[in-house]
Structure 1
Amino acid sequence: MKLTRRNTLIGLGTIAAGAGVISGTGAFDSVEADRSFEVSVSGDAGALLGLEATNDTIAGTQEGGAGDNDVIYFEISSSETTGNASINEDATTEFFDAFSVTNNGSETVDLSIELPNTVNGLSFIVADTRSDNNPLDLVGGSYELTSGESISVDLGIDTTSGGYDDSGAPYQITIRAQTAAAAQA
């Protein structure tokens, strides 16, 4: 092929087109995109997982949660001088129907309770299982709570050797409700 001006232009055009195909794959190294979202909170009774203090002797609510939400608390003292419930040393004490949990969501969840590593001797028993030979403790176990279902939970405190030790500082528990899809992820 003879080197002419026309052949040179065609050759340069072909090279430019080939370079465009090679570098024009659409791949990129980094992208940053801003999106807006909104999160709203609901009180414990109306949230996807509704919580309600139901034993007036040991449970109550106080302001202090996110937004206008209340915090459920349990107050049990080592003496009756404060007017609250008290527990015996070297004994196991149970408070029936301490609080209720309602699944207001549309999916079935596995319900469980986690305690801080420093806490021993507390149990949270599903009330419907208390008369069973092996009642279901939400600490170390889970309960399948279907959509719209509500359960009552008992509080147990074991102060026998190796059990609950009242250090005076309040503890926080974590109530976990996990769908089957979230558990598999």
Structure 2
Amino acid sequence: MSSLLGAQEHGHRRASDVIDAADTNGDGTVSLDELAASLRADPASLTDAFARVDGDDDGQITADELEAGLQAAHGHRGPPPPPPLSASDLASSILASSDTDGGGSLSLSEITASLGQDDSKGLSDVFAGLDTNGDGGLGVEELTTAVEASFARQMAAYTANGTGERSSIRVAA
């Protein structure tokens, strides 16, 4: 019984941490706009999922509502999975594992070597789009931005229909 109570407390603490991270006005809740800003997503792409979690339909999500929504989505009450790496930690990890020349950024050739692929027009175009400063390398800030955009697209696809099944909705990066 104590392990169940501990798991419930941990789940609530995790929901509170998520709310705290996205709550930009400090009211202890998250609005649709705050959620969209924290995910760098279009609010319209999150409207349905937000409404499913907003149990009292007041336009704000509390930690309790988020915890209940997560439990409903996962169909059980137990300890949540370990927290994922932050976008910046994941970007740093990618950089550390693939920066073979130690230059502090990833070149297109380092990325293709890391992926085991030949350079293709598609990969070159994606690389050029991510290389926002045009220096021919992706630094940790550019990689972090790319990871955050990817997370937002995945979250929107996951929550689009409430079942966790992938959706065809795309979020502009």
Bigger strand share = 1
Bigger helix share = 2
Structure scoring higher RCO (CA < 8 A, sep ≥ 6) equals 2
Larger Rg over CA atoms: 1
State the TM-score, normalizing by the size of structure 2. 0.20
State the TM-score, normalizing by the size of structure 1. 0.19
